[in-house]
Structures are given as structure tokens and as C-alpha cells.
Amino acid sequence: MPLSLGARWLEWLLCLSLLIQTLEYLRLLPALADDGYAPWRLQRADIPQAWIRRVLDVLFTSAALRAQLLLRLVVLALIALQGSSLGLVMFLFISHLLILIRWRGAFNGGSDFMTLVALTGLLIVHSVALAGNPALGWRAGLWYVCLQSVTSYFVSGWVKLLQPQWRSGKAMPIFLECAVYGPLAPGHVLRHPLLGRLGAWAFIVWECCSPLALWHPLAAWAFCAVALVFHFLVFWFFGLNRFFWAWLVSFPAILACSAQGIF
């Protein structure tokens, strides 16, 4: 995939991922209200500096949060239609950070982090472009996203490989037992020790070998195809729909960077 096409696909997929997140945040605004699950009047004690607390008091009123999320929808539409710019990406970056602070640093863990990676990648793109070299900007931004994404699989695979319970195949069924859509049915195939072990090892080996995706464009396509199935399974068993979209955003970067022939 050429860099220019990878860049445009990254923008479109990021818009889709952020659209899904924003609509969910809008739906969950009552949980952040004063009589909701996490009122700001309690949570503001997290902020050590009084002046920052006062600024956030204004930004985190229900009306301000709603306005910010609605403005996000407009910005996403603009980026999807005409492409990103430094101002639009900066708005999304700051908005994403504010929303994360409102949810005590993370709402959905890894998907929040990967979304921040994609936004940082676009910030790199436009900052370097501002310095007079747009081509280098896209290259640097896409490589940043690509490396962070491959790193996420690589680290995730190796930490599992270092755990005896993952190597023996016992960990995966236990995590599935505790999952949001669990527990597993009594006769579920993943309860079978051999299949549980095979499944665990398949994902561990695939994650540990993730840097090989940069070896050849075909390897990258194969890697991304397996990753798509992997993230769908993570959604299916653990309910982590945002992970599916947040990592999908990084696939154009992996495909575009692999086409540059690293190895």
C-alpha cells in the first residue's frame, strides 16, 4: 500500500473509531452527571493543583462535555471529507485527553491508548509538514503508528510467553470464565485442555512474531488479516468493541510501512 493511500485510510478509520467512541460517550453522559455513577465533585480530588481543578470544573460540566462531544462529530466529518489538518487533529488530541481525565485516566484501557497513538501520529505528520516537508511528515507519522501497533502485539505476546499458566494453556479458559459475556458453557470447546493450549499457543506465537509483518507486504496483509480475526474474537468473548476499531486504525500504517521494505 503506498504511503499516501495508507495515510488516507488511517484518517478514515480513525474517524470511524472516534465516531463510535464519541456516540458511546454521549450515551454515557448521565453516568458522569452529579447524581450519576462518577460525579465530578468527588473525582476532582484526583487533581492536585487547585487552579487546574477550577479550569476542569468549567470544562467538565454536563453542558460543556456535551458541546465538546458534539463538536467532535463535526471535526470528524470534516476530516473524513477533506482530510486532517494540524488544528483539527490538535482539537481531537486535546478532547481525547480531557475525556480520559474525566474517566480517571482511561475509559477502555488499551483502546484509549491506541487511539492516542493514532492521534499522536497525525500530530507528528502535521508538525513535520508545518516545518516544510509533508512527505517526511507522513512517513514519520505512519512509522510511529506502525511501530506502536507492532510493539503492542509483540509485548503482549512475550509477557504471555513468560507466564507458565499461559504456556500450559490454563490461563485463557480462566480469563474467558471471568469475561463479561462468560462464563463458558460447560461443553465449550475451549474448556478442552488440548484445544485451550493450542489456541493460547497460536496467539502467543502470532503475537511474538508480529515484527515479521514488516518483512514483506504479503506478510503484513496476512498479519493484519489474522489480527482482524483476533480482535473480533476479543470483542466476541470480552466485549471489547473499541479494541477492534482502535487497532484497525493502525493497519494502514503497518501495510504502508511494510511496503517500504524494512528487512
Site for another protein in 55-84 (CB under 8 A): none
Ranges assigned E (strand) in 61-101: none
C-alpha distance from residue 11 to each of 79, 80, 237 (Å): 7, 7, 28
Q: How far is the CB of 11 from another protein (least distance, A)?
A: 19
Q: Between 2 and 105, whose beta carbon lies closer to another protein?
A: 105
Q: Cis before residue 183, ω within 30 degrees of 0?
A: yes
Region of 38 on the Ramachandran plot (φ > 0 left; ψ -120 to 50 alpha; else beta): beta
b/e map of 66-93 (b: 16 or more CB within 10 Å)? eebbeebeebbeebeeeebeeebbebbb
Angle at 137 between CA 129 and CA 124, to 5 degrees: 90
| Span 151-170, contacts to another protein by CB under 8 A | 151-152, 154-156, 158-160, 162-163, 165-166, 170
Residue selected from 68, 84, 241, 258 as contacting another protein according to rule CB under 8 A: 241
| 101 lies in the site for another protein, by CB under 8 A | yes
- Part of the chain binding another protein (CB under 8 A), chosen from 16-24, 63-71, 124-132, 246-254: 16-24
Q: Which is nearer to another protein, 75 or 190 (CB)?
A: 190
**Choice from 86, 116, 219, 228 touching another protein (CB under 8 A):** 116
Among 31, 67, 70, 189, the residue binding another protein under the rule CB under 8 A is 31
